[in-house]
């Protein structure tokens, strides 16, 4: 599905030197590389503060801790997402409130979001799934009207621009109260281990995020509140500094691959290609088809026999996951998500796909669909 080695080989001398320099410096934790990466990512995103942390799940958790959400407060999010989004809500004893998504873009349905708001609602977590922004203009308008925090989960869409109706552009994760991202190796900006970050333009919140990531300390050994230990290693920051310089080029490579797939599959009634919304860039973390009839398992087996991987993101809606069963929800409550979970299939998507790879993968899919 990804070719991390192929991507590394193209920038191997710079990466190897950066890693060896950190080892030689012995500044492994909170060293200068972390500070430099933070500043460079702030400049790239056009955001006042980037607070690095240990992974994307921690970023979401730290955001919710800093916003002072209390047990019982309701946090609305999309039913169709990676479990981490809902996991931290449940972990903090907040109440996850799930809503359905839009069939074409797979992102939270703003109408369903507004309907789910009540007096206990404190925040919404729009997920910029598969590399495209949720409908942020509508979401922000609704959230502002109801005085809700907006925690953007931008683990899959770093670098995507959102374009408002007045033409203003903002990077995914810099629109709401806080943006949370992941630098997991297969992410669009991935390190060689775990990593994550929070983004905000709010000075006071940024200070709180920093404090919480560092055991709730304002000053060394003075713990003002309960925090966590969530740091980005200097080695990972050094790697991310180099990869950040290539992020736009990586997005272009992903878009080129997506355009190839689009051309191969568009007009085929047996599937739906990813819908591109004019108000958002797509950075194609995943290229996800929705099958309209064909047997998905048979297709995976057919492709696998030709050495072509395909993955199902995500096979089970959150409300039907064992860990999140809730008397409020039952099968049939979120028909769009349930339909997607039964019919989506993602094809290999990364920065190193050649035309020959794309031809082989597309031909495999088309051959299966002809059966
Ligand atoms: C949408 C989404 N949110 C959150 C996360 C969590 O990130 P991490 O794996 O770095 O904890 C991921 C990563 O898989 C994700 O895809």
Whether omega for the bond prior to residue 26 falls within 30 degrees of 0, making it cis, is no
Pairing between β-strand 271-272 and β-strand 287-291 as defined by DSSP bridges: antiparallel
Q: Which of 115, 46, 113 is nearest to 77 (CA)?
A: 113
* Local structure of 215: helix, strand or coil: coil
Decide: 253 and 33 in contact? Cβ < 8 Å.
no
Write 93-97 long-range contacts (CB < 8 A, 24+): 94/64, 94/69, 94/70, 94/122, 95/120, 96/318, 96/324, 97/121
Give the closest residue (by CA) to ligand 1 atom 15. 155
The alpha carbon of 136 and the centre of ligand 1 are apart by a number of angstroms equal to 20
User: CB–CB of 27/234 below 8 Å?
Assistant: yes
**152 membership: H or E segment, kind and range:** strand 149-153
What's the CA-to-centroid distance between 182 and ligand 1, angstroms?
Answer: 6
CB atoms within 10 A of CB 74: 20
Q: Is the CB of 195 under 6 A from ligand 1?
A: no
154 lines ligand 1 (CB under 6 A): no
Residue 340 is classified by DSSP as: H
CA 39–ligand 1 middle distance (angstroms): 23
Contact 22, 32 (CB under 8 A): no
Task: Give me the half-sphere count of Cα atoms (radius 13 Å) on the Cβ side of residue 330.
Answer: 1
pLDDT of residue 348: 98
| Residue 219 neighbours by CB under 8 Å, 6+ apart | none
How many Å apart are CA 84 and CA 313, to the nearest integer? 13
Ligand 1 site, residue 197, Cβ cutoff 6 A: no
182 C-beta closer than 6 A to ligand 1 = yes
Q: For residue 358, what pLDDT is reported?
A: 98
Q: How far apart, in whole angstroms, are the C-alpha atoms of residue 27 and residue 19?
A: 11
Ligand 1 touching residue 155 (CB < 6 A): yes
Counting atoms of ligand 1 from 1, which one is nearest the CA of 81? 1
Ligand 1 centroid to residue 153 C-alpha, Å: 8
Instruction: Look up residue 145 and give its two tokens.
Output: 């009207």
Tell how far the Cα of 289 is from the centroid of ligand 1, in angstroms: 21
Q: What whole-number distance in Å separates Cα of residue 277 and Cα of residue 165?
A: 13
Q: Please, where are the H alpha helices in the chain?
A: 4-10, 12-25, 32-45, 56-66, 84-91, 110-115, 136-145, 203-213, 234-244, 247-265, 296-305, 335-343, 355-370
Going by C-alpha positions, the residue among 328, 345, 344 that lies closest to residue 336 is: 344
Three-state DSSP state, 165 = coil
pLDDT score, position 266: 95
pLDDT for res 94: 97
* Cα–Cα distance measured from residue 49 to residue 276, given in angstroms and rounded to the nearest whole number: 29
- Asked if residues 77 and 97 have their Cβ atoms less than 8 Å apart, the reply is yes
Distance from the alpha carbon of residue 56 to the mean position of ligand 1, in angstroms? 5
pLDDT tens digit sequence for 201-244: 999 999 999 999 999 998 999 999 999 999 999 999 999 999 99
Q: 108 forms bridges with which residues in the sheet?
A: 101
pLDDT in tens, the chain (371 residues): 999 999 999 999 999 999 999 999 999 999 999 999 999 999 999 999 999 999 999 999 999 999 999 999 999 999 999 999 999 999 999 999 999 999 999 999 999 999 999 999 999 999 999 999 999 999 999 999 999 999 999 999 999 999 999 999 999 999 999 999 999 999 999 999 999 999 999 999 999 999 999 999 989 999 999 999 999 999 999 999 999 999 999 999 999 999 999 999 999 999 999 999 999 999 999 999 999 999 999 999 999 999 999 999 999 999 999 999 999 999 999 999 999 999 999 999 999 999 999 999 999 999 999 98
For residue 82 and ligand 1, the question of a CB distance below 6 A is answered with yes
């Amino acid at each position: 599905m990804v070719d991390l080695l192929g991507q590394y080989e193209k920038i191997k001398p710079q990466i190897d030197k950066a890693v060896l320099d950190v080892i030689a410096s012995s500044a492994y934790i909170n060293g200068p590389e972390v500070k430099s990466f933070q500043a460079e990512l702030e400049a790239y995103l056009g955001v006042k503060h980037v607070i690095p942390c240990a992974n994307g799940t921690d970023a979401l958790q730290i955001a919710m801790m800093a916003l002072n959400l209390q047990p019982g407060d309701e946090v609305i999010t999309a039913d169709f997402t990676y479990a981490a989004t809902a996991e931290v809500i449940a972990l903090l004893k907040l109440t996850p409130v799930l809503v359905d998504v839009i069939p074409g873009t797979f992102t939270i349905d703003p109408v369903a979001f507004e309907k789910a708001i009540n007096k206990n609602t404190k925040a919404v977590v729009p997920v910029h799934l598969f590399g495209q922004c949720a409908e942020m203009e509508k979401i922000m308008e609704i959230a502002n009207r109801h005085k809700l925090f907006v925690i953007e989960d931008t683990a899959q869409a770093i670098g995507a621009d959102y374009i408002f109706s007045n033409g203003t552009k903002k990077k995914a994760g810099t629109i709401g109260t806080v943006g949370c991202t992941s630098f997991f190796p297969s992410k669009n900006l991935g390190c060689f281990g775990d990593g994550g970050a929070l983004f905000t333009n709010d000075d006071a919140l940024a200070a709180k995020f920093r404090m919480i990531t560092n055991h709730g300390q304002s000053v060394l050994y003075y713990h003002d509140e309960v925090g966590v230990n969530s740091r980005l290693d200097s080695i990972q920051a050094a790697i991310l500094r180099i990869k950040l310089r290539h992020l736009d080029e990586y997005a272009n490579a992903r878009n080129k691959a997506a355009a190839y797939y689009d051309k191969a599959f568009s007009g085929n009634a047996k599937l739906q290609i990813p819908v591109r919304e004019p108000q958002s860039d797509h950075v194609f973390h995943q290229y996800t088809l929705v099958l309209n009839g064909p047997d998905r398992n048979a297709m995976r087996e057919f492709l696998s026999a030709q050495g072509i991987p395909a993955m199902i993101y995500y096979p089970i809606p959150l409300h039907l996951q064992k860990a999140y069963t809730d008397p409020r929800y039952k099968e049939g409550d979120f028909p769009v998500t349930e339909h997607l979970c039964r019919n989506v299939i993602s094809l290999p998507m990364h920065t190193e796909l050649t035309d020959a790879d794309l031809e082989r993968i597309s031909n495999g899919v088309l051959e299966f669909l002809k059966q």
